[in-house]
């Protein structure tokens, strides 16, 4: 037997579903799709004072420097920011604050001269990270603004050098660890 109420309910449900699906579809000229990649900490290169095991260990004295390398993905939307998120934790001596900042950045592109600049590369919230308790993971966010590495494009190779200055007056942590690195970007689709 035909029931008008169930037919109306089904049509209404399909109508709502169509609106939701339409709202989720990318629109031409829209901001793009957010994507992320994980960069292994064991792929980092250690320099002064940094050690790499399962994490990047930054010592409690002096300066610890490490470098990560990545290629801006092919589907990167030009003139959008690239965000690098460092997952960090402190062991012993918490609560504490560590000074952690960009040290150098180099962009290389086939057929062009290297560009070395930290202009346009910022640490959100400044160059410190606070740890409330041992092994509590914190995030430190670095943003490469559009043009931060002048004219960054898909396929550009980036070397990003980071430093912890344990000798800075504000830094009172023991050893800290970078346990993960995430790269976020806006893709064309």
pLDDT digits (tens, 9 = 90+) for 2-28: 344 433 333 333 333 333 333 333 434
Label residue 62 left, alpha or beta by phi (over 0 means left) and psi (-120 to 50 means alpha).
left
Domains (range + CATH), the chain: 30-187 (2.60.120.260)
Give the mean model confidence (pLDDT) for residues 76-99: 91
Percent share of the chain, pLDDT over 90? 63
Distance CA 44, CA 101 (A): 16
Distance CA 83, CA 184 (A): 5
Determine the number of helices (DSSP H) and then strands (DSSP E) in the chain.
1, 13
pTM recorded for the entire structure: 0.80
Distance CA 108, CA 49 (A): 26
| pLDDT attached to residue 5 | 41
Q: What SS3 class is residue 111?
A: coil
| pLDDT attached to residue 2 | 39
């Amino acid at each position: 037997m035909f029931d008008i109420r169930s037919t109306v309910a089904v049509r209404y449900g399909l109508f709502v579903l169509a609106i939701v699906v339409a709202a989720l579809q990318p629109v031409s000229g829209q901001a793009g799709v957010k994507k992320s990649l994980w960069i292994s900490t064991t792929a980092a290169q250690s320099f002064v004072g940094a050690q790499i095991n399962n994490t990047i260990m930054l010592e409690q004295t002096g300066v610890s420097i490490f470098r990560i390398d990545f290629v801006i993905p092919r589907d990167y939307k030009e003139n959008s920011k690239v965000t690098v998120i460092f997952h960090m934790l402190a062991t012993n001596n918490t609560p504490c604050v560590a000074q952690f900042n960009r040290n150098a950045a180099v962009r290389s592109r086939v057929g062009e001269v290297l560009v070395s600049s930290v202009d346009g590369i910022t640490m959100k919230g400044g160059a410190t990270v606070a740890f409330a308790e041992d092994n509590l993971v914190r995030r430190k966010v670095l943003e490469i603004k559009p043009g931060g590495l002048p004219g960054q494009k898909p396929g550009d190779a980036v070397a990003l050098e980071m430093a912890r200055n344990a000798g800075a007056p504000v830094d009172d942590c023991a050893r800290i660890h970078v346990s993960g690195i995430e790269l976020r970007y806006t893709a064309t689709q």
